[in-house]
A and B are shown apart, each in its own frame.
Chain A
Amino acid sequence: MPRTGDGHEPSVGGRSGTTVTRRGALLGLAAVGAIAAADVGGFLFAGGRLTPDTVTPSRFVDRFEQVFGRHEGFRRNHAKGVSVTGWFTATGAGSAVSTASVFRAGSRHPVTGRFSLSGGQPDAADAVDTVRGLGLMFRLPGGEQWRTAMIDSPVFPDRTPDGFRARLLASKKVPDTGKPDPAAMAAFLACHPETAAAMDIIRRQHRTSGFGDSTFHGLNAFRCTDRSGASVPVRWRLVPEQAVRQPGAEEGSGRDYLFDALVREVTRGPLRWRMILTIGEAGDPTDDATRPWPADRTSLDVGTLTVDAIDTEGPGNARDVNFDPLVLPNGIAPSDDPLLSARSAVYAESFDRRSGEPKAPSRVTVAEVPDER
């Protein structure tokens, strides 16, 4: 056997006729092990598995389950809801700022929507001060879609995903009182002045009688691009054509009184909302949904949403739609708002979880609502 190295190493013939010492082989093995460890370690690190404190979409959704309990088959937030369908008719005014086909004058697009109440309890009792939600999915020509998830608050309470998550924990109901711990909320607000300011704005807004006379806000800023390639920041809201009424005697008249009223209204005739696009100007925050834009900004009336049918959540309707706010048509793009990507990620996680779970019947059952009180 040939000898190499320091003269004490036993060695063997490698496959290529080169001579491999035992030391060389061990060094080689060490190199293989080191590279393999870097490969596997890097993969685990990229997947957030080595950093248990990093907030991943999965851990974010876990927080909802921790606060509201785990309700299989339901959304982890805005769990209580009902499916609607209708259409959107464009005025053409939106084409001034965006090439999106949804805004083309006279165009009409089918819409699937979902009215909901915020919170992770699918059987929560309707209450006048619960945040109301409206998710929409517009089916556009050429397989394009536009999805948006709106609520009836003019601003969002949180600027960042972390703020949202911390507020969720601070607002968790204490078993003894059935209410959030005031000390926890006070401590949270002390660290999040932007939330305190946003909550003041939200509190000053008058509650309306129900879903049909609520204004729904898209909250986050987006960017619209026109034919010349120029882009402007925009926010949108849906303003009801129904007369706005104060919450009245029907308040609390039943566990599902808000949904029951909506079912009766849609059954009587279509409900309509104008879509108003507000154009932001230089200096208006696009990355902070807690701050309103000045009231004098240019607004465009870009079309009308008509809701003419309402159904219990079920297979193939809004139940199975993820109202991901970043499913956008050409001509509308995300802004730099950090909430957008986080919403997209968390909605996807919620959708992934509920898709594979057994489906319980929705609390809001359209067929069981009596026509007239």
Chain B
Amino acid sequence: MSDSRTRYAFTSRLLHWAMAILVVAQLFLGVAMVASLDAYHLLRTVHQPLGFAILVLAVVRIGNRIVHRPPPSSGMRPAERMVATGSEYLLYGLLVLQPVTGWAMLSAGGFPIALTAQLSLPAIAPRDPDLYAVLRQSHTVLGYLLFAAFTAHLCAILFHTFVLRDRILGRMTLSRRPRPAPPPQRRDPEFRVS
């Protein structure tokens, strides 16, 4: 089987790992920011442009996903495939919704949104304290939800890699030489871990 049939497209893999680093960094940065006095300003200065970068990448990635279909996932039950696809869509949704919520929240709070010294974003919501409060709360809830979704995603791939050992991670790695995709297996009914 050719590489393109067994692995994600190179652009997909690149976007995946770039965003993985940025999003995980952003999650930890965000939760540290709101809990810090000394580092609050520095973290906020990083958090806003990073959030916008994630939003741009998320939109690019959704476009890329439409162009490049993922490789077939052999050896998954239909239910597993549904969970995998559902969680993929959930992550895409959150990766767009969370930065947009942050942007709207700053707009509703009446704050200027500076990305760099020269570049700032326009307001996308009216200035309103009640709206601000709702968006501020949503930003926290979505942040925790995104962290939970990331953790579930991480656990799933670790489970496939260390317990099932089905080398499914090889479909997403950036290594030049793809590991050959395993042939589809008949599932052994005696060993069910999931």
Contacts and interface: CB of A to CB of B under 8 A. Distances in A.
A14 B41 contact: no
Contacts of B129: 315, 320, 354-356
Contacts, number: 155
A282 to B, nearest CB: 25
Contacts of A47: 31-32, 34-35
Interface of A: 12-18, 20, 24-25, 27-29, 31-32, 35-36, 39-40, 42-43, 46-49, 54-58, 60, 142-145, 161, 315-316, 320-322, 324, 326-327, 330, 334, 338, 340-342, 344-346, 348, 351-352, 354-356
B56 interface: no
A316 B127 CA distance: 8
Given A321-B110, A345-B41, 8 more contacts: A14-B164, A25-B163, A36-B155, A48-B35, A341-B37, A344-B44, A345-B36, A356-B137
Which among A16, A346, A351 has the greatest number of chain B C-beta atoms within 10 A?
A16
Given A32-B162, A340-B41, A46 B28 contact: yes
Interface stretch (B46-54, B87-95, B96-104, B182-190): B182-190
Contacts of B133: 352, 355-356
Interface residues of B, number: 52
A15 B75 contact: yes
Given A54-B35, A57-B34, A36 B182 contact: no
A39 B154 contact: yes
Contacts of A35: 154-155, 158
Interface in B112-132: 112, 117-118, 120, 122, 127, 129-130, 132
A355 B35 contact: no
25 contacts: A12-B190, A12-B191, A14-B164, A15-B75, A15-B185, A28-B165, A35-B155, A39-B154, A46-B28, A47-B34, A143-B112, A161-B37, A320-B127, A322-B111, A340-B41, A341-B38, A341-B41, A342-B37, A342-B38, A344-B40, A345-B37, A354-B129, A355-B130, A355-B136, A356-B137
